[in-house]
Structure 1
Amino acid sequence: MAAFLDRRDPENIEGSAERFEDRAGGWLDVMTAATDLHPITRACMGFHLWSLAGLGQYGDQIEAAVTASRIAASDGSGAVFAPLAMGGAGGLRASGLPTERLARWLDGMNSAILTAMCHLDDTEKWSARAEGAMSQLSGRTPAALRSALTEWPLVSAPMAGALTGASRAALQRNLAWMEKRGLIREVTQQGRFRMWRIAI
């Protein structure tokens, strides 16, 4: 784990200080002992124990969240996709008894999944609306650009070029056409390094 996370103890670590490998080993031992728990419960447990074990650097919870998501999806019987942060901060709040934390985790997952499903429904409706509006355009760029905008939350012109294989001029022309008709919205509000998203 230390090599994967690129974590090293300082050269002059004090004799009483616990080394990273020991902290990580303790976390792994606890997680191994919990293999009988459901993967979603283990994911919650692993997330909350991460910082208690001293594994988070500078209070960063990204590694803990990524590790929790991998635990939740580990054996295929857990959550393959649970965008917990979409449900608000409640599911990630580190306070209260373990049962309270698990209840908030599950409520956060439920809320996040409902939010994600609503967003996917809106994206599907947008795609159908955009397909109808863009049916008058010729070439392969409009369909490829619509597909890229459907699959990604934000798209820049260089990214759209890489995803579609279209020329910069064709992309700029189609992006301007889509923006004028209210299909997409430019979100950066600047002349350079612009990004667009679908207008739901």
Structure 2
Amino acid sequence: MKPNPSETKGAAGAAADSPFDGETGEEDLWFLPGPPEEEVDFLPPLPRSDPDERAQIAGWEQAQAAEALHLAQAAVRFGALDERLRRGPEGWRHRLALTEASELSWLSGDRISADRLGLWQAMRISAAGEDTAALQHTAWALRRLSGGPGPGADIAGFLGRHEARGDDPLTGRIAGWNAIMKAASSLHPIVRSCFAFHLWPMAGIGPEGDVLEGAVIAARMSAGEGQDGALFAPLLMSGAGGLRGGGAPQERLQRWLQAVDQGILRAMRHLDQLDRWESDARRCIKPLSGRTPPRLIEVFRSWPMVTAPLAEELTGVSRAAVQRNIAWFEAQNLVQEVTGQGRFRVWRAALNAGA
């Protein structure tokens, strides 16, 4: 029996109208998941860097060549500062380190003044309600700027990251950092320090957004092959412009060299004033007897801000003797009181008056 043509045509039409046989637009597939999105890569770049690390420092080598004259000028001045500190008293280096650490704390947001930092370092004294973590953070910077090994092969030891062992992710990041720094060994120490500072935020080793560790590493790295006089280049004595990011490597290096150059000049002038002040102070105390006056001179030489408890701790004499001698120093215009208060007073050497 032959099929009815009308029935065959109707069946074919029904089959063509079936939603399972024809092509369907994307708007009709609302119930299906969309295409997979590209995952955000949160891994730090250094441990996953290409084996050719030298490609990352090519721009800095070109910047070093372009700024050769300015670099030579900064290097000569740093050599003069290094020799000056090597021949000078130990207190000079400590004073510059304390001043630099205090300035760095303001840059990182901790805002620790020199007198507060001095009290914490010498006596572990802090004010009521004061942020102890901020003091410890800044005191770490002071210790690293004052002495000890620099940030060489043992960057974990320099930072105090002793827990970085085995499969710890920090171990891989430190290994990546060491590889980059080894590739950058051909750069001048001052240029290498600038490169390290701007690379540090991408290393994933320190706390996010914290610039203090990177600045301390760069400052110590800038000393290079010094004679153990100047352990760091004073970057912040002329302001924080040298640490500003942005721009090509040559622009960053220009700002860095200017900060190093101006910072060294200010440090040298400061040491000149301090030397003249000490000569005047020792001449003034000749008529005096006792051990307290010369010890106070050493304290004011080493510490930019001095309180009575700090002077008592460092000189080893009684509080009454300290206050009596500081009052005499103040009457001779050798020291200045900076708070204007009757209690919790702070003094500094009157460098301008002694100049």
TM-score (norm 1): 0.83
Task: Give the secondary-structure state (helix, strand or coil) at the position aligned to 2:237.
Answer: helix
Letter matched to residue 286 of structure 2: S
Give unpaired runs (5+ residues) of structure 1: 10-18
Deviation at 1:77, TM superposition (A): 7.7
The residue aligned with 2:200 is 50
The residue aligned with 1:189 is 340
Q: Verify: 1:69 aligned to 2:225, yes or no.
A: no
**Closer, same or farther: CA 52–77 of 1 in aligned 2, 3 Å:** farther
Greater shift, 135-144 or 55-64, is seen at 55-64
Do 2:177 and 2:203's aligned partners in 1 also have CA atoms closer than 8 Å? yes
Greater shift, 98-107 or 181-190, is seen at 181-190
Do 1:87 and 1:115's aligned partners in 2 also have CA atoms closer than 8 Å? yes
Moved over 6 A (4+): none
Structure (1 or 2) with the larger CA radius of gyration:
2
Do 1:154 and 1:197's aligned partners in 2 also have CA atoms closer than 8 Å? yes
Letter matched to residue 204 of structure 2: G
Do 1:84 and 1:108's aligned partners in 2 also have CA atoms closer than 8 Å? yes
Letter matched to residue 97 of structure 1: A
Equivalent of 2:300 in 149, 155, 169: 149
The residue aligned with 2:289 is 138
> For 2:232 and 2:288, how far apart are their aligned partners in 1?
36
Do 2:300 and 2:306's aligned partners in 1 also have CA atoms closer than 8 Å? yes
The residue aligned with 1:198 is 349
Letter matched to residue 131 of structure 1: R
Do 2:189 and 2:224's aligned partners in 1 also have CA atoms closer than 8 Å? yes
Deviation at 1:71, TM superposition (A): 1.9
Deviation at 1:140, TM superposition (A): 1.4
TM-score (norm 2): 0.49
Task: Give the secondary-structure state (helix, strand or coil) at the position aligned to 2:236.
Answer: helix
Task: Give the secondary-structure state (helix, strand or coil) at the position aligned to 1:85.
Answer: coil
Letter matched to residue 199 of structure 2: L
How far does the alpha carbon of each residue in 1:121-161 deviate from its partner, in whole angstroms, 9 at most, with x for none?
11111112222222222211111101210121111222212
**Closer, same or farther: CA 77–147 of 1 in aligned 2, 3 Å:** closer
Q: Verify: 1:104 aligned to 2:255, yes or no.
A: yes
The residue aligned with 1:14 is none
Higher relative contact order at CA 8 Å, sep ≥6: structure 1 or structure 2? 2
Task: Give the secondary-structure state (helix, strand or coil) at the position aligned to 2:233.
Answer: coil
Q: Verify: 1:118 aligned to 2:269, yes or no.
A: yes
The residue aligned with 1:16 is none
Give unpaired runs (5+ residues) of structure 2: 1-154
- The size of the alignment, in residue pairs, is 192
Do 1:156 and 1:196's aligned partners in 2 also have CA atoms closer than 8 Å? yes
Greater shift, 21-30 or 70-79, is seen at 70-79
Q: Verify: 1:128 aligned to 2:128, yes or no.
A: no
Deviation at 1:188, TM superposition (A): 3.2
Deviation at 1:74, TM superposition (A): 4.3
Do 2:336 and 2:350's aligned partners in 1 also have CA atoms closer than 8 Å? yes
Q: Verify: 1:60 aligned to 2:184, yes or no.
A: no
Do 2:219 and 2:235's aligned partners in 1 also have CA atoms closer than 8 Å? no
The residue aligned with 1:95 is 246
Q: Percent identity?
A: 50
How far does the alpha carbon of each residue in 1:65-117 deviate from its partner, in whole angstroms, 9 at most, with x for none?
11112322344389643111112212111121111111211111110000001
